[in-house]
Amino acid sequence: MTKRYLGNIITQNPTAPADNFETTSAPGVWSLAEALAYKKANLWPTAGNAAPGQQAYTSAGTYSFTAPGTSSVSVVCIGSGAGSSIGAGAGGGAGGGLGYKNDISVTGGNTYTVVVGARGANGNVGGAGGDSYFVDTSTVKGGGGQAPGSQSQGGAGGTYTGDGGGNGGNGGNSPGSNAGGGGGGAGGYAGNGGNGGSNSAGANGSGGAAGGGGSPGGGNQTSGSGGGVGILGQGSNGSGGQYSNDETDKQGGGGSGGDNGISIAGLSDGGNAGANYGGGAGAQGGSGFSYKGGVGAVRILWPGNDRQFPSTRTADE
């Protein structure tokens, strides 16, 4: 089909662009109104933008990210979970926070710092989880779960910096002699992780966050660990672990497709108990063992004006 423009010139009907990347073509002759309509819908080809891409960092450490041919990126950062304490009455580890920020300006070919927080250490008093961030902690950050104030207390959940996100769940306090507190769940894309239980079930996560581990109380009972959160964008909430001695039932559920908490039954001292990414470690009362939290993560998407957290084209593509 053809179109007739002013001056009775017959021209080829334009072909609609598929997206706004430089690999797209849009042949034909366009009216100004047509071009503006597609530009407004963010579908007009823009030279200099890279095709869609992503990079995930899921091991603790410091990295250099080299920006491809794009002017912006979108980033999610998840802090690591805190470790649990040792003792007759031991506190659970807190969950890591999640923060995201969209459309961060970058220059193709330049390098930018990426840090993934290390697991919170086990010990007499559980250690804090490490922060995860892109560029620096004031740009976008998922804060690590905080260390408890004493052996029997659970620490506060990690905070976040960015356009949105959620705090990690608090670690559960010891409910009494020879009993451990539950681990806190990792924060979500629009809400906080569930708190670990203290002679109670763990709390549910909200806004795509993970659930906290349950704490059955009683002599020498192990608690559940906090769930982790997925890095592919916002999904369903994780359920809190139950008030139960069953090793599966008392683990905090993963949020947004993340992993459930890890059972500490049979783990040796210093084992990894908090779920990846960002789960706090559950505690074991009446023992000489304590456990590490879940590692953090950073995921980068581009172009940042087209792929945005919490859920716009954040899938694995």
Where is average pLDDT lowest: 88-97, 280-289, 294-303? 280-289
Asked if 17 and 26 count as a contact pair (C-beta separation under 8 A), the reply is: yes
**For the chain, how long is the longest CA-to-CA vector?**
91
- More confident call, 310 vs 245: 310
Domain extent listing, the chain: 2-40, 50-317
- Whole-model pTM: value is 0.86
In this predicted model, what pLDDT tens digit does every residue of 103-119 receive, in sequence order? 999 999 999 999 999 99
State the pLDDT at residue 83. Answer: 97
Determine the Cα–Cα distance for residues 261 and 213; give it in Å rounded to an integer.
Answer: 7
Identify which has the larger pLDDT, 4 or 146.
146
Closest CA to 203 of 175, 164, 243, 155: 243
pLDDT at 270: 92
Residue (of 73, 72, 70, 96) closest to 83 by Cα position = 96
Q: 102 CB contacts (<8 Å, ≥6 apart)?
A: 74, 163, 304, 308, 309
Query: Average pLDDT in the 188-217 region?
Result: 96
Mean pLDDT, residues 13-23 taken together: 66
DSSP 269-287: TT-B-SPTTTPPPP-BTTB
pLDDT of residue 91: 95
pLDDT tier for residue 1 given thresholds of 50, 70 and 90? very low
> From the centroid of its chain, how far is CA 197?
22
